[in-house]
Each structure stands twice: as C-alpha cells, then as structure tokens.
Amino acid sequence: MNKLTLIGGAPLSGKTTLSRKIASRDGAVELSTDSIRSWMKSLVSPNGYPGLFYSDNMSAEDFYIKYDTPQSVVDGEIAEGRQVEKGVLALLKTEVTWDHLVVEGIAITPELMTKIRDEYRDREVECIILVDEDRHRIHDRISGRGLWGPLDSYPNSLIPKEVEWVILYNKWFHEQAIEYGIKILTVEQITLRPVS
C-alpha cells in the first residue's frame, strides 16, 4: 500500500460521501469502520470487548433511556471507537496489496490518525476530519433517513436527542482535530467543490 487516506467524523458528517469521491477519483479501495466493527463482533466476546456491544439488544427507546444525555451517548461512541481501533490497526498490519486504501468512520479519531501516521512514515498518509455543526441540516438529515436505524423503525420523538448528541460529537471531533493538528473539512467543502 502506497497511500492511506483516513477520514473521521461524527455520523452524518459526509465521511462516506468523501470516501466514495476519493475512491472514484483514484481507483482506491474503500473500507468503513462499520464493516470492521461488524467483522470484530463476529469474532470476539462482549466480555473482552464490551465497547463493541454497548448498544446491542436494545430498542432505540431503551437505548435513549439508558444513555439519557448527549454526553453519555458520545462517551459510548468514543468507547466503541476505541475498541474498533484495534481492528483497524490489525488490518493495517497485514500485507495488503492495495495501492490506495481509504478508511472512513467514527472510529477514525485524530488520536488514531496520529498513531497511524507515525507508524507508517514509509507511505503517504492523508488525514481528514469532517465536521458539520449545522443543527438544522443535521435535523433534516436525521428526519429524512433516521440515525438509530431506518426512519420508520423508531419513534420520531427521539430525533431531537439524536440531533443533540451528533452536534456534541461533531464538536468533540473538531476540538480533537485542532489538538492533534489534523486537517478539518466541513460538509460544505466536500459537497460544493471537487476533492483536491
């Protein structure tokens, strides 16, 4: 692998959109941390990796009763991401033959990007954090497609809770990107102009 592009950010920030644009432009292989998480969950136990399973076997209503503040949801997502990080690092240690790999997802944090960039100095590592702190756009996207699952699979009354934690998670990613010196792009930047 000659080039690795890492794209992190909160849900709905445009990670998949940007990943697809880069893959289309460069002929790169795309990989989502959602896929890595699913793969890991089929291989490990909840006892060894509790963060991977923190929302399993719960309805949306039960989840938002148990995790009743935006911060508690963000904390759970961060903990899950730290568990998925182990799978990302394990994959990168294999002898992959792809020329360019794009990995995107909420588990791709600025801290992980820094670790990977330091570990793989022999290749080009591009790091991008996407943020969207526009409350109205986030609300409209969740209202149009759902977040917990498909929109019709849980009560619309939970959407305001989802908006709040997604906003908070975007702020966390933004602050972490500044702390670690990682490039930040906004939704507008990836939707209004070509990828450079």
Kindly report which listed range (9-23, 30-44, 138-152, 181-195) carries the lowest average pLDDT score. Answer: 181-195
Mean pLDDT of the 9-36 span: 95
Give the pLDDT score at 196: 53
Q: What is the pLDDT of residue 193?
A: 52
The residue segments making up the domain with residue 60 are 3-192
d(CA 130, CA 135): 15
What integer pLDDT is reported at residue 97 of this predicted model? 82
- Check whether 74 has a pLDDT greater than 80: yes
* Chain centre to alpha carbon of residue 46: 21
- Residue 95 sits in a domain whose CATH number is 3.40.50.300
The predicted structure's pLDDT at residue 188 = 87
The answer to whether the CB of 73 falls within 8 A of the CB of 58 is no
The predicted pLDDT at position 189 comes to 86
**Residue type for position 104:** E
**Amino acid in the structure at residue 39:** W
Write a three-state SS string for 62-113: HHHHHCCCHHHHHHHHHHHHHHHHHHHHHHHHCCCCCCEEEEEECCCCHHHH
Sorting pLDDT into bands at 50, 70 and 90, what band is 41? very high
The pLDDT value recorded for residue 195 is: 55
* Band of residue 51 on the pLDDT scale cut at 50, 70, 90: very high
Q: How confident is the model at residue 194 (pLDDT cuts 50, 70, 90)?
A: low
Name which of 87-96, 132-141, 154-163, 184-193 the model is least confident about: 184-193
Structure tokens at 15: 């990670």
Mean pLDDT of the residues in the chain: 94
Number of domains in the chain: 1
Half-sphere exposure of 80 (CA within 13 A, CB side): 21
